[in-house]
Structure 1
Amino acid sequence: MTALKYLGGYPPALLDKVRQLIDRDELGDYLQKRHPGRHEIQSDKALYAYTNALRQEHLRNAPGIDRVWYDSKLDVISKALGLHTAISHVHGGRLKARKEIRIASLFRDTPPEFLQMIVVHELAHLKEAEHNKAFYQLCEYMQPDYHQQEFDLRLYLTWRDLQARSSA
C-alpha cells in the first residue's frame, strides 16, 4: 500500500482513488491534464511584484510586505513550503518591523495555481496567524478554489516523491 504522507486527513474513499491513480501510473497524467502550464515568475523581483499585487487586490488594509523571495532552504523536508516572518529590530531609537515572505524554490517550476495557492496562504497569515476557520475563509476569498488547489498541490508533492524514488 502506498504511503500518502501529504494527504493525511482526507476521506479513505478519496485516498483509494489516489492509490488507484498511482498503481496505474496515471497520477502524473492526471496532474498534467488539470494543470498543463507553468508560470513565468522566476525572479525574486517578479515574485515580490506578484505577491504585492495579490495583497493590493485582496488585502488593502494588511501591512505592507518588505521582501518576498524564493528560498532554496525551504522544502517539504522541513515541512515548510512558505514562511511569513515579522522581524523586529531597533534602528536608532525606534523599533522597526519587517514583514517577509519566503516561498520554497520548488514553486519556480509549478503550475500558476500552485504558486498562487502558496502565496495566498502566506498572505492570509498577515491577517490571521492561526490556521482556523477565518484563515481558510480568507484564503477562499483570495483564491475561490483554494481547497481544490491545495489538494492538487498535495497530489503534486506525492507524485514528486514517487518520481524521486523511482529515479533513485
Structure 2
Amino acid sequence: MKYLSAYSEQTLSQVRQVMDQGRLGEVLLQRYPKAHEIRNDRALYDYVQDLRNEFLRNAAPIDKVAFDSKIHVINHALGLHTSVSRVQGGKLKAKHEIRVATMFREVPLEFLRMIAVHELAHVKEKQHDKAFYKLCTYMEPNYHQYEFDTRLYLTHLDASGSRLW
C-alpha cells in the first residue's frame, strides 16, 4: 500500500477490501483489458513527440526518449525528465531527455500516457505544484484516474508478484 499512502483512509479501505477478496488484478484487467504496442525506444520517442506537438508546441524540443531499466519503481520513480545545460560557443543550450521505467513496456496505454504527460509537463513546469497538475490534466483529462490506477497496479505487483499484461 506504499504507492497509495497519499490517498484518504476511505479510499485505502476500499482498496484493502478488493485486495482481501483477491480481485485487484481482475478489477484492473476489466478496466484495461490490453497492453499498448509501444515496445521500443523509437516508438516511445514518436509517441511522446506526438503528445508534445499536440499540447506543447512552443516548449523546448525533447532530444531523447527511452525506456530505462535503471529506473526503479521502488523509489517511486516511474519516469524521469532531465535537462542538461551546455555552453556551445556563446550560447547556452539545454538538452531535454525523458526516460520511462522499462516495466511500462507492457502496460495499458493509459498508464504510459500518464507517465509521458507527467514528464512532458516538467519541460514547462519544474515543480509539482498547481500549475504543473493543471498542465497534466490539460494534456490528459483523466490524468489523476490513470495515476491512481497505475499505483493500484504497482500495489498489485507488490502483493502478488505477477504482471497482468
What TM-score range do you get, normalising by the shorter chain?
Answer: over 0.9
SS at the partner of 1:68? strand
Residue in 2 that maps onto 1:67? 64
1:57 aligns with 2:54: yes
Alpha-carbon separation, structure 2, partners of 1:7 and 1:77 = 13
Scaled by the length of structure 1, what TM-score is found? 0.92
Q: For 1:104-131, what per-residue CA distance to the aligned partner results, in whole angstroms no more than 9, with x for missing partners?
A: 0011011000000000000001111111
**How far apart are the structure 1 equivalents of 2:89 and 2:160?**
52
Given residue 105 of structure 1, which amino acid in structure 2 is its aligned partner?
T
Rounded to whole Å, the distance in 2 between the matches of 1:88 and 1:127 is 15
Contact 1:75 1:105 in 2 (8 A): no
Normalised by the length of structure 2, the TM-score is: 0.94
Partner residue of 1:99 out of 82, 96, 102: 96
Q: How many angstroms does 1:90 deviate by?
A: 3.5
Report the Cα offset of residue 75 of structure 1: 1.9
Is 1:115 aligned to 2:112, yes or no? yes
The equivalent of 1:37 in structure 2 is 34
2:48 alignment partner AA: T
1:47-103 deviations in Å (ceiling 9; x for gaps) = 000000000001111110000000000021232111111112244554432110001
Unaligned runs of at least 5 residues, structure 2 = none
Matched length: 162
Q: Separation in 2 of the partners of 1:16 and 1:94?
A: 54
Structure 1 CA distance for aligned equivalents of residues 5 and 96 of structure 2: 31
Q: 2:27 aligned with 1:21, yes or no?
A: no
Identity of paired residues, percent? 57
Counterpart of 2:9 in structure 1 is 12
Write the distance in 1 (CA, Å) between the matches of 2:75 and 2:144.
22
Distance 2:157 2:44 in 1: 23
Identify unmatched segments of 5+ residues in structure 1.
Answer: none
Change (3 A) 1:78 1:13: closer
Q: RMSD between aligned alpha carbons?
A: 1.3
